[in-house]
């Protein structure tokens, strides 16, 4: 059994923490002081004399290669890791550090992978990549990074291999045996049980001034029962403070911004309720299919892959009540509270789809292939690659407001956004065909933006009305500000010990409660998903379901970029 954390780690510092000792006219310096404190906290970690050992379990895999190693490199390059940090890769394959470097280095150049689709999606992408490539003057730094890396091969169920890993870690500790240990499980769920058991038995830090943290990737189970088993297993080995359940959407700029937008702006807090809001639509779209990895996807389907975790996390941040403070526990208490108000999803409130090849796509293009053409997908699979689901929150603020979540692969664009649609204007005096509902859109990606669709007098002599927007596009408002990748933020959080942006076990249990009955029904009844064409907007039935649930699409809005 792992020992609990020996000393309280700093969690988060906010203006409020500092403000309590201050008088009114000092308040303007509060945020500055908060920033200073945050820097001090970070500084403490950065200059911590105790070494940090970051172990990547599953170092030979896709996630490690494409996300974890590159993220560690960017943090190292930018001086955002504690001074003495060592990295150990652990996996079954017999690899040398040279092999591992050859595998990972191509992904360290820029954070979004180099698929041609990505380059199409992002304006100036090529320029951006060039700016992020390992430049001449960074080569020495990169060499230093790889010098701090080592690799240890071992099985996931052999205790002796974990003892060897522990010995390896010990060699990197201080002479008095101190090191903080971080284990990132970039592994398939089938080995979670053995790996966590062996880590807890053989690889925990023994020094009372040092800590051990374990970072767990989704899927956190397949349904309520399997998730509860996993949670029970983990909690028998580690304390909740030691477990960091990662949902990388919680590391995205605009997802983190939701709390500030809502709770630091009075004009939003007053209208954020059933009296003003007609519906909320949370969307995730990807313009590519399974890309030959359908075998993995098919075991889960789009609800487990994206909706039950990423979209539901966004929903909780949109809908929760204001927490007492910005401490992780206060925030997560509110998230759990709102989840508890959501009844299970019903079959009549969902639309399932599966993409088919587009005959109009050029010969040889991926879009020619449907989901079932992926050779790794079981023949005749009915797994959904698109889903729309309507959820309701039974509380005073939200009773009757549909929260419509939709996500899908092989759609017409890459997009993740939250769209708040307001009620019609009561007693409208203008031409009813011209006055459309207000919408507040929080675009998570690509190109972070917040825009408010509203009605204005048409400029000029006439007294007409027209639809326009108040537009806060980050690209132009925050030029030159480097937007960290979600994993960068989240790994820094693990080092500094803040769990705000990580999923607590009770939150997870509630998320599974909401989706388990529908998932079981789909697994047993295997309903036919509605076919939709690769590159389309998804099944029209999804638009009909949204219309039925008080989301009106007028088709009149035209955006004219500045
Ligand atoms: N700051 C910025 O960068 C800004 C960018 N824009 C851009 O302008 C464009 C239009 O803006 P947007 O807010 O999307 O407004 P639209 O009015 O085009 O779309 C509004 C909503 O209706 C949905 N929709 C689209 N077509 C249909 C349909 N046929 N039936 C039912 N629903 C439909 C869209 O979903 P679906 O996802 O399915 O299309 C979207 O959720 C977007 O590309 C947006 O990104 C606008 C303002 C600011
Ligand atoms: O967790 C997942 O997320 C990705 C999408 O992440 P993004 O940061 O690129 O938006 C998705 O492709 C994958 O299927 C899913 O497992």
Q: How would you write 511-547 as a 3-class SS string?
A: HHHHHHHHHHHHHHHCCCCEEEECCECCCHHHHHHHH
The Å distance, Cα 93 to ligand 1 centre, comes to 47
- Site to probe by mutation for ligand 1, drawn from 386, 478, 557 as the one with most ligand atoms within 8 Å of Cβ, is 557
The Cβ-side half-sphere exposure at 447, using a 13 Å CA radius, reads 19
First to last CA, the chain: 59
Q: How far, in Å, are 91, 186, 271, 363 from residue 179 at the CA level? A: 22, 21, 50, 56
Which residues have CB under 6 Å of ligand 2?
Answer: 248, 286, 305-306, 416
Measure the CA–CA gap between 59 and 156, rounded to whole angstroms: 12
- Residues with a catalytic annotation lie at 310
Mean pLDDT of 532-555: 98
Confidence (pLDDT) at 428: 96
Whole-model pTM: value is: 0.90
Q: Is residue 381 a contact partner of residue 371, using CB atoms and an 8 Å limit?
A: yes
Atom of ligand 2 at shortest range from CA of 486: 8
Q: Per-residue pLDDT tens for 479-508?
A: 988 889 999 999 999 999 999 999 999 999
**How far, in Å, CA of 75 to CA of 361, rounded?**
40
Nearest CA to ligand 2 atom 4: 306
- Is 421:552 a contact under the CB 8 Å cutoff? yes
Phi-psi region of 535 (alpha: psi -120 to 50; beta: other; left: phi over 0): left
Please give the Cα distance from 399 to 156 (Å, whole number): 48
Q: Is the pLDDT of residue 19 over 90?
A: no
Ligand nearest to the CA of 453: 1
3-state secondary structure of 279: strand
DSSP 421-475: EEPPPTT--S-TTT-PPPEEEEEEESS-EEEEEEEEEPSSSS--EEEEEEEEEHH
Measured from the Cβ of residue 123, the count of other Cβ atoms closer than 10 Å reads 12
C-alpha–C-alpha distance, residues 518 and 223, integer Å: 10
Q: List phi, psi (to 5°) of 279.
A: -160, 160
Residues having CB closer than 6 A to ligand 1 are 281, 283, 419, 441, 447, 449, 451, 469, 471, 473, 537, 543, 553, 557, 559
Q: What is the pLDDT of residue 133?
A: 54
Per-residue pLDDT tens over the stretch 154-193: 999 999 999 999 999 999 998 888 999 999 999 998 999 9
Say whether pLDDT at 119 is over 50. Answer: no
């Amino acid at each position: 059994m792992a020992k609990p954390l020996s000393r309280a780690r700093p969690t988060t510092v906010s203006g409020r923490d500092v403000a309590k000792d201050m008088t009114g006219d000092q308040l303007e310096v509060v945020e500055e002081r908060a920033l200073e404190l945050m820097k001090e906290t970070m500084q403490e970690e950065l200059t911590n004399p105790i070494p940090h050992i970051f172990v990547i379990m599953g170092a030979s895999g896709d996630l490690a290669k494409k996300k974890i190693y590159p993220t560690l490199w960017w943090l190292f390059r930018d001086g955002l890791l504690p001074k003495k940090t060592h990295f150990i890769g652990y996996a079954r394959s017999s690899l040398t550090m040279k092999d591992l470097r050859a595998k990972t280095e191509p992904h360290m150049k820029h954070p979004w992978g180099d698929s041609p689709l990505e380059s199409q999606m992002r304006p100036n992408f090529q320029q951006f990549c060039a700016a992020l490539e390992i430049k001449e003057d960074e080569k020495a730094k990169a060499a230093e990074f790889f010098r701090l890396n080592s690799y240890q091969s071992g099985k996931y169920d052999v205790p002796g291999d974990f003892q060897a890993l522990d010995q390896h870690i010990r060699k990197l500790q201080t002479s008095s045996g101190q090191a903080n240990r971080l284990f990132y499980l970039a592994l398939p769920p089938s080995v979670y049980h053995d790996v966590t058991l062996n880590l807890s038995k053989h690889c925990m830090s023994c020094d009372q001034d040092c800590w051990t943290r374990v970072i767990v990737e989704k899927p956190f189970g397949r349904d309520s029962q399997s998730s509860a088993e996993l949670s029970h297993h983990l909690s028998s080995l580690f304390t909740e403070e030691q477990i960091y359940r990662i949902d990388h959407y919680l590391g995205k700029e605009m997802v983190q911004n939701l709390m500030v937008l809502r709770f630091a702006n009075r004009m939003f807090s007053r209208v954020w309720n059933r009296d003003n809001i007609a519906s909320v639509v949370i969307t995730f779209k990807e313009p590519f299919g399974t890309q030959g990895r359908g075998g993995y996807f098919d075991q889960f389907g789009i609800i487990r892959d994206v909706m039950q975790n990423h979209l539901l996390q966004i929903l909780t941040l949109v809908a929760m009540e204001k927490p007492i403070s910005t401490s992780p526990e206060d925030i997560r208490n509110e998230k759990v509270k709102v989840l508890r108000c959501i009844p299970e999803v019903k079959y009549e409130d969902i639309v399932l789809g599966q993409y088919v090849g587009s005959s109009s796509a050029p010969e040889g293009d991926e879009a020619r292939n449907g989901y079932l053409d992926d050779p790794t997908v079981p023949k005749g699979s009915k797994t959904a690659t698109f889903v729309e689901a309507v959820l309701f929150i039974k509380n005073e603020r939200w009773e009757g407001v549909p929260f419509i979540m939709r996500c899908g692969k092989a759609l017409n664009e890459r997009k993740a956004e939250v769209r708040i649609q307001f009620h019609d204007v009561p007693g409208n005096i203008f031409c009813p065909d011209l006055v459309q509902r207000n919408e507040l859109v929080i675009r998570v990606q690509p190109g972070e933006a917040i825009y408010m669709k509203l009605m204005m007098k048409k400029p000029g002599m006439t007294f007409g009305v027209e639809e326009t927007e108040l537009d806060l596009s980050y690209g132009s408002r925050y030029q030159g500000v480097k937007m960290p990748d979600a994993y960068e933020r989240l790994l820094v959080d693990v080092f500094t010990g803040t769990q705000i942006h990580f999923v607590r076990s009770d939150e997870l249990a509630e998320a599974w409660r909401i989706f388990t009955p529908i998932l079981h029904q789909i697994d047993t009844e295997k309903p036919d998903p509605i076919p939709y064409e690769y590159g389309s907007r998804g099944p029209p039935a999804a638009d009909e379901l949204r219309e039925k649930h008080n989301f009106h699409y007028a088709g009149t809005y035209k955006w004219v970029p500045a």
